Amino acid sequence: MDSGFALNAMSEMFELSLKIALPLLLSTLAVGILVSVIQVVTQIQEMTLTFVPKIFVALFVLAMLGHWMLGSLMEYSKSIFAGIASM
């Protein structure tokens, strides 16, 4: 295996994983901070209150962006297999 191909594949893998994970992580982070601020203001200290909105937001983001995420992963996989086959 060519070292240039391996390094390029690894850098593309890290870049793609960041692109795919970032919308999900940022949206759940924003909701978590918002719920925490609401808990501080209202002095409600229920631990399970933060999980339900995060789950709903994560499912919503996956429903909206799941097609793009899967398409990106498939394109990356095709390029990796094509690169391996050409060696």
Task: Answer whether residue 65 shows pLDDT above 90.
Answer: yes
Q: What is the pLDDT of residues 71-86, one digit of tens each?
A: 999 999 999 999 888 8
pLDDT of residue 1: 61
**Domain ranges in the chain?**
3-85
Distance CA(3)–CA(7), nearest Å, equals: 6
Contacts of 13 (CB under 8 A, 6+ apart): 76
* The pair of three-digit structure tokens given for residue 76, joined into one six-digit string: 């990356």
The pLDDT tens digits for 4-61 are 888 988 999 999 999 999 999 999 999 999 998 998 898 888 878 888 999 999 999 9
